[in-house]
Structure 1
Amino acid sequence: MCGIAALQLRNPELRPKMGSLLSTMLCEIVDRGPDSAGLAVYDNPALVTEGQSTLSLLGGDLGLRPADIDAFLAGLLPEGVESQVKVVGDTTLVSAEVPAGELAGAVARACPGAVIAGRGGRVTVMKSVGHPMEVAERHGLGGMYGTQAVSHTRMATESAVTAGGSHPFSVADDLCLVHNGSFSNHASVRRELKRLGVEFDSENDTEVGARYIAHRLEQGDDLETALVNLGQVLDGFYTLVVTTADSMAVVRDPIACKPAIIAETEDWVAMASEFRALAELPGIGNARIFEPEPGRVYSWSL
Structure 2
Amino acid sequence: MCGIVGLHLRDAALYPRLGELLTGMLCEMEDRGQDSAGVAVYGDREWSPEGHSSVSLLEVAEDVAGLADAVSVSLGSPVAGQRLGDTTVLTAASGDLLEAVRAVRPDVLVAGFGSDVTVLKGVGHPRALAASWGLAKAQGWQGVGHTRMATESAVTPSGAHPYAVGPDQCLVHNGSFANHATIRRDLRAAGVRFDSENDTEVGARFVAHQLEQGRDVETALKELCSTFDGFYTLLVSNSDSFAVVRDAIACKPAVIAETDAWVAMASEYRALSDLPGVEHARIWEPEPEVVYAWTR
TM-score range, shorter chain: over 0.9
Of residues 62-71 and 248-257 in structure 1, the stretch that sits farther from structure 2 once superposed is: 62-71
Task: Specify the SS of the correspondent of 2:157.
Answer: coil
Q: Aligned match of 1:268 in 262, 268, 292?
A: 262
Equivalence for 1:283: 277
Counterpart of 1:109, as a letter, is A
CA offset digits 1:35-71 (Å, max 9, x no partner): 1000110000110012211000014xx2322221232
Number of matched pairs:
296
Equivalence for 2:206: 212
Deviation at 1:83, TM superposition (A): 0.9
Task: Specify the SS of the correspondent of 2:153.
Answer: coil
Structure 2: distance between partners of 1:71 and 1:171 = 25
Does the Cα contact within 8 Å between 1:69 and 1:111 map onto a contact in 2?
A: no
Equivalence for 1:94: 90
Equivalence for 1:16: 16
Q: Aligned match of 2:167 in 173, 192, 210?
A: 173
Matched, 1:253 2:247: yes
Q: Percent identity?
A: 55
Deviation at 1:95, TM superposition (A): 1.1
Counterpart of 2:81, as a letter, is V
Structure 2: distance between partners of 1:34 and 1:72 = 35
CA offset digits 1:195-217 (Å, max 9, x no partner): 11111111110000000000001
Aligned-residue Cα RMSD (Å) equals: 1.0
Equivalence for 2:34: 34
Structure 2: distance between partners of 1:185 and 1:31 = 28
Deviation at 1:112, TM superposition (A): 4.7
Q: Aligned match of 1:108 in 85, 99, 102?
A: 102
Structure 1: distance between partners of 2:2 and 2:22 = 16
Equivalence for 1:191: 185
Equivalence for 2:45: 45
Matched, 1:200 2:194: yes
Structure 2: distance between partners of 1:142 and 1:63 = 26
Equivalence for 2:62: 64
Structure 1: distance between partners of 2:99 and 2:261 = 39
Deviation at 1:153, TM superposition (A): 0.3
Structure 1: distance between partners of 2:135 and 2:58 = 17
Task: Specify the SS of the correspondent of 2:21.
Answer: helix
Counterpart of 2:207, as a letter, is I
Matched, 1:301 2:278: no
Does the Cα contact within 8 Å between 1:251 and 1:296 map onto a contact in 2?
A: yes
Counterpart of 1:6, as a letter, is G
Task: Specify the SS of the correspondent of 1:169.
Answer: coil
Counterpart of 1:33, as a letter, is G
Structure 2: distance between partners of 1:196 and 1:245 = 26
Of residues 232-241 and 50-59 in structure 1, the stretch that sits farther from structure 2 once superposed is: 50-59
Task: Specify the SS of the correspondent of 1:170.
Answer: coil
Deviation at 1:242, TM superposition (A): 0.3
Structure 2 residue ranges without an equivalent (≥5) = none
Equivalence for 2:2: 2
Structure 2: distance between partners of 1:71 and 1:294 = 49
Structure 1 residue ranges without an equivalent (≥5) = none
Alignment of 1:109-124 (within 5 A): 109-124=103-118
Does the Cα contact within 8 Å between 1:42 and 1:123 map onto a contact in 2?
A: yes
Counterpart of 1:214, as a letter, is A
Deviation at 1:152, TM superposition (A): 0.2
Structure 2: distance between partners of 1:88 and 1:123 = 14
Counterpart of 2:170, as a letter, is C
